[in-house]
């Protein structure tokens, strides 16, 4: 059995990753799983299972009574690093209708629910134009509705990146009207009517290319037992955790984490976490204020 991973074709390696995904998360896998997921023949599915055994003979054993391969007691991943975020992202994508059920690698979806969020009205044609402008390093003329003006306004922008603040999608762009880099909400772009060459360089967007590190800890006024729980929630070590964020997205990160106000304004149980480098972050936020966000 050839067991040199460097010789594997992409499709074969993907199927071996799928076998390992099912073994880790579901505890079992069989030929029909591969046939249903990838549309391969019975012979190909058998070959893939045997090939996987060649790479990791201790990772699965055949259960004759169940007529399926089950995870071995000495299981050690060879083709993927088990990732809870990847599993949960698939779960959410299926539940939200973003990913078709048959395209998910999860065999048995657990019951799932999420707090509802408003649907953000991003027009597909708008997104296509913005992404196209990014790829071609062009400027586009957009009719944009800002909060600062009652009527939408036409302006030229040169987008260079897409950003998500946890609730809404933006494009990071150089505004030729105001001559600075800003965030523009995709949902507020009402029309796009032209494109032209742009001299704006994404390299000049210092806020996009520089990082700020948030140092967080449980609220100091929380009881010790509650502080330990909060530390677990945020994966803290020795009572602290760090979160790296682009300075251009600092405003959104602070707002989403509830760190954009004085921690004394809320009860410790509501605030839960505080910035241990608050003064440093306040300075960074003030420096960033000149580059308007979500206008």
What is the per-residue pLDDT across 199-242, written as a single tens digit (0 to 9) for each? 999 999 999 999 999 999 999 999 999 999 999 999 999 999 99
Look-up of token digits 């058998």? 46
* Torsions phi, psi for 181 (to 5 deg): -85, 140
Look-up of token digits 């509830």? 258
Question: In this structure, how many other beta carbons lie within 10 angstroms of the beta carbon of residue 48?
Answer: 21
Q: According to the 3-state scheme, what is the secondary structure of 43-108?
A: HHHHHHHHHHHHHCCCCEEEECCCCEEEECCCCCCCCCCCCHHHHHHHHHHHHCCCCCHHHCCCCC
Instruction: Record the pTM.
Output: 0.79
Q: What is the pLDDT of residue 282?
A: 87
Q: What is the pLDDT of residue 119?
A: 65
Q: What is the pLDDT of residue 116?
A: 77
Q: What is the pLDDT of residue 285?
A: 80
Per-residue pLDDT 10s for the chain (295 aa) are 445 665 678 889 999 999 999 999 999 999 999 999 999 999 999 999 999 999 999 999 999 999 999 999 999 999 999 999 999 999 999 988 889 998 999 999 999 888 877 766 799 999 999 999 999 999 999 999 998 888 999 999 999 999 999 889 999 999 999 999 999 999 999 999 999 999 999 999 999 999 999 999 999 999 999 999 999 999 999 999 999 999 999 999 999 999 998 888 999 999 999 999 999 998 888 766 544 444 4
Q: Which residues contact 78 (CB under 8 A, 6 or more apart)?
A: 20, 55, 56, 59
Q: What is the pLDDT of residue 80?
A: 92
* Torsions phi, psi for 190 (to 5 deg): -85, -35
Report the distance separating Cα 130 and Cα 185, nearest Å: 11
Q: What is the pLDDT of residue 295?
A: 42
Cα distances (Å, whole numbers) of residue 141 to 177, 191, 250, 259: 10, 8, 27, 35
**Residue-wise pLDDT tens digits, 84-103:** 999 999 999 998 888 999 89
Tokens of 63: 């259960």
Of 201, 277, 210, 203, residue with least CA distance to 248: 210
């Amino acid at each position: 059995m050839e067991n040199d991973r460097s010789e594997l074709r992409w499709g074969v390696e993907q199927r071996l990753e799928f076998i390992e995904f099912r073994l880790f998360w579901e505890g079992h896998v069989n030929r029909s799983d591969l046939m249903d997921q990838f549309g391969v023949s019975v012979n190909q599915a058998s070959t893939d299972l045997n090939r996987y055994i060649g790479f990791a003979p201790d990772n699965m054993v055949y259960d004759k009574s169940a007529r399926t391969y089950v995870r071995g007691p000495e299981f050690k991943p060879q083709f993927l690093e088990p990732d809870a975020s990847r599993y949960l992202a698939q779960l959410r994508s299926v539940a939200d209708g973003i990913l078709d059920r048959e395209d998910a690698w999860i065999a048995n979806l657990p019951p799932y629910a999420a707090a509802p969020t408003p649907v953000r009205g991003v027009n597909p044609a708008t997104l296509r134009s913005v992404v196209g402008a990014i790829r071609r390093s062009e400027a586009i003329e957009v009719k944009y509705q800002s909060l600062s003006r009652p009527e939408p306004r036409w302006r030229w922008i040169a987008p260079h990146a897409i950003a998500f603040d946890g609730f809404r999608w933006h494009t990071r762009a150089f505004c030729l009207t105001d001559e600075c880099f800003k965030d523009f909400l995709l949902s507020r772009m009402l029309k796009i009517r032209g494109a032209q060459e742009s001299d704006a360089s994404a390299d000049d967007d210092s806020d996009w290319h520089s990082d700020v590190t948030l140092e967080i800890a449980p609220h100091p006024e929380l009881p010790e037992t509650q502080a330990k729980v909060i530390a677990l929630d945020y994966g803290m070590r020795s009572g602290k955790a760090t979160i790296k964020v682009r300075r251009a997205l600092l405003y959104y990160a602070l707002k989403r984490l509830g760190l954009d106000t004085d921690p004394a304004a809320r009860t410790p149980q509501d605030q839960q976490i505080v910035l241990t480098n608050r003064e440093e972050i306040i300075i960074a936020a003030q420096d960033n204020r000149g580059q308007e966000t979500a206008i």
